[in-house]
């Protein structure tokens, strides 16, 4: 996915929330599981964050879900 490539560093593909590796293979038949990457807004849009490359990072789907609309400390 070209959008993931804009924020992904192949030598350091870690979830910025928990620090564990991203698993690009954690899916089957268009069902994506916990370690698959998602794009997270560091400062959520609902809290005034912008939809810019400076405000997004890779996070596991599961970590991003837990974070929700909160800001990461």
**Please, how many CA atoms are within 13 Å of residue 7, restricted to the half-sphere of its CB?**
21
Question: Is the pTM value of this prediction over 0.85?
Answer: no
For residue range 7-55, what is the model confidence (pLDDT) as tens digits?
655 546 899 999 999 998 999 998 999 999 998 999 999 999 999 988 9
Buried b (16+ CB within 10 A) or exposed e, 37-73: bbbbbeebeeeebeeeeeebbbbbbbbbeebeeeeee
pLDDT at 59: 92
pLDDT at 8: 58
Q: Tell me which of 5 and 10 has the higher pLDDT.
A: 5
Q: How confident is the model at residue 4 (pLDDT cuts 50, 70, 90)?
A: low
The helix/strand/coil state of 1 is coil
């Amino acid at each position: 996915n070209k959008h993931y490539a804009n924020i992904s560093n192949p030598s350091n593909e870690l979830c910025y929330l928990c620090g564990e590796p991203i698993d690009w293979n954690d899916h089957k038949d268009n069902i994506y599981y916990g370690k698959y990457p998602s794009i997270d807004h560091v400062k959520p849009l609902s809290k005034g964050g912008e939809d810019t490359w400076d405000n997004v990072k890779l996070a596991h789907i599961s970590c991003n879900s837990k974070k929700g609309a909160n800001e990461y400390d």
